[in-house]
Amino acid sequence: MSAMPAERGRTGRPRRGFLRLPQETMESMFGYAYAILMTDLLLVLANLPLAVLLFVARDALQAWPSALLASLTLAPSLAGAFEVFRRLRGDEPPRPFAAFWHGYRRRGAAAALIGLATALVVGFVLYDGAILTGTPWAALAAPTLGVAAAWAVATCTTAVAGLVLYPQASVRAIVKAAVYLAVRRWYFSVFALALLGTAAAAVLVQPVLGALAPGLLLYVVFANADFAYRRALETEAAAG
């Protein structure tokens, strides 16, 4: 009996390799990859002072006052990145440059105010931590200060995602919802913080290669925030 052809499996059907994927699937995969890579580039450009500081600083943790000041551009750029991700989840073709600018221009001001409030909380925590270092109060205050900083960052990220997801809602309503989600749906916040921490660690350890990580991780953060908002709305609708 002659051997089976190499390209056929045990069932006699031709094997479908990576190159045999439907054209629409291939275009969608490359579209996502292109959009995420372009988002990484746009994030670097929008936060160029911070990127340069992290690249040239020998110890970014020691230069935290300058890094905190430079980080004020993060929240508006996050609004731009989230707008790119929002469009990727729809039927619109990937146009990351136009989407990023649209999100930055439309929700950047509100995101900047939220980012400023977050920077003040984080700065207060870091300042107090520096003062208490080496004192008997350090071990007692460290957990509380750490939770306060983490809560501020989680609330900021969720709020910026809400600004993009619900552009018709007021900033006050979005912030209230973000505070609620950060406390009541704390497990979503923990997951988002883990992803943000991974992205920050990648950038701090290797600024050049690490700049490729935030786009993909932020996409998951955005999807996590979207799911949290939907669950909260479903719960409210069921209760009402």
pLDDT tens-digit series, residues 127-150: 887 787 777 777 778 888 889 999
Q: What is the pTM of this model?
A: 0.83
pLDDT at site 218: 93
167-187 pLDDT tens trace: 999 999 999 999 999 888 888
- What whole-number distance in Å separates Cα of residue 52 and Cα of residue 54? 5
Contact in structure between 213 and 198 (CB atoms under 8 Å): yes
pLDDT of residue 137: 78
The predicted pLDDT at position 32 comes to 79
Among the listed ranges 5-14, 41-50, 68-77, 155-164, which one has the minimum average pLDDT value?
Answer: 5-14
Domain boundaries, the chain: 23-233
The Cα–Cα gap between 37 and 29 comes to 12
